[in-house]
Amino acid sequence: MSGKRIFTKEELAEFSKDCMDLALEALEKGDVEKAKHWCRKQKETKDCIHDLYLHWITGLLSTIYDRWGEDAAVSVLKETSCLGPSGWSRPFLDARAKIIEEKGMRGWIEYIMDVWRQHTMHTPPGMTMEEDDEKFILTMNPCGSGGRLVNMGAYDGPFAYRKLKKAGPHTWGEENVPIYCAHCPIVHEAYPVTVAGPGAQFWIHASPFPKKPGDPCIYHIYKDPAKIPAKYLERIGMGKGK
């Protein structure tokens, strides 16, 4: 076995390219079946690393909770997502401002949907977008991370991840919030308001978090930020809405 090659040179070269590059190459050569193969491969494998890090982050937060308490876990969550040097929220806030300036609300909605397409949002029953006169309504059933964990039963049993027992702005004022889901009011609502003022929320968590398997997460994205109801500011401790 040691003297026999397993892969051809062409197959080895394919390892340096991602699935979508290979699909596009196949289409350029007119090989539709091979393009379909790589598209299916992309769909079959895209959640592997995503879910690994999803569990790692939630397990890490739960370990901090167990060793140093709930307040420490919340503090670490805030620092790593928004306030510290590793905070990843500011680039997203800057991207939102630039997209809305250049392309308007249509551009922002298209950007959000492009992102969520990569966030395992098409696990059945899936994701839907609706529109009325004042807002867009994005329903994720399940959310590709927090809701996915709840549906997996990750907060139940002897190896369950932790829930935040204390109600506060970081839990939308609710008790027993899954620890992973607590980044949502911090990152998506409170942080943008703190930096850019009321109306800067990425979206509103109208149905904040799944309380049992099968519950959807529902986002509201208002066309006019000035019309976001005051209650959504008050529940994250940001005072009265304007």
Question: For residues 116 and 217, is the Cβ–Cβ distance under 8 A?
Answer: no
Distances in whole angstroms, Cα of residue 203 to Cα of each of 108, 185, 223: 11, 10, 11
Are residue 126 and residue 34 in the same domain, yes or no?
Answer: no
Residue given tokens 């099968």 in the structure block: 214
Span 48-97, pLDDT tens digits: 888 999 999 999 999 999 999 999 999 999 888 876 655 667 788 888 99
Are residue 116 and residue 227 in the same domain, yes or no?
Answer: yes
Cα 85 to chain centroid, rounded: 20
Q: Which two tokens stand for residue 176?
A: 């027993």
Residue 34 lies in a domain: yes
Residue 222 lies in a domain: yes
Are residue 32 and residue 82 in the same domain, yes or no?
Answer: no
- Nearest 5°: phi and psi at 131? -140, 135
Residue 14: domain span? 9-45
Residue 226 lies in a domain: yes
Q: pLDDT at residue 147 above 50?
A: yes
Cα 112 to chain centroid, rounded: 10
The pLDDT value recorded for residue 164 is: 97
Residue 64 lies in a domain: no
Are residue 115 and residue 41 in the same domain, yes or no?
Answer: no
Q: What is the domain count for the chain?
A: 2
Residue 58 lies in a domain: no
Are residue 81 and residue 152 in the same domain, yes or no?
Answer: yes
Give the dihedral of Cα atoms 100, 102, 104, 106; nearest 10 deg: -100
Cα Rg of the chain, angstroms: 21
Q: What is the pTM of this model?
A: 0.89
Residue 162 lies in a domain: yes
Span 12-50, pLDDT tens digits: 999 999 999 999 999 999 999 999 999 999 988 988 888
What lies within 8 Å, CB to CB, of 86 at 6+ separation is: 80
Are residue 80 and residue 151 in the same domain, yes or no?
Answer: yes
Are residue 162 and residue 217 in the same domain, yes or no?
Answer: yes
Residue 55 lies in a domain: no
Span 88-136, pLDDT tens digits: 677 888 889 999 999 999 999 999 998 888 886 666 778 899 999 999 9
Cβ neighbours around 159 below 10 Å, total: 8
Give me the residues paired with residue 130 across strands: 137
The pLDDT value recorded for residue 242 is: 41
Residue 198 lies in a domain: yes
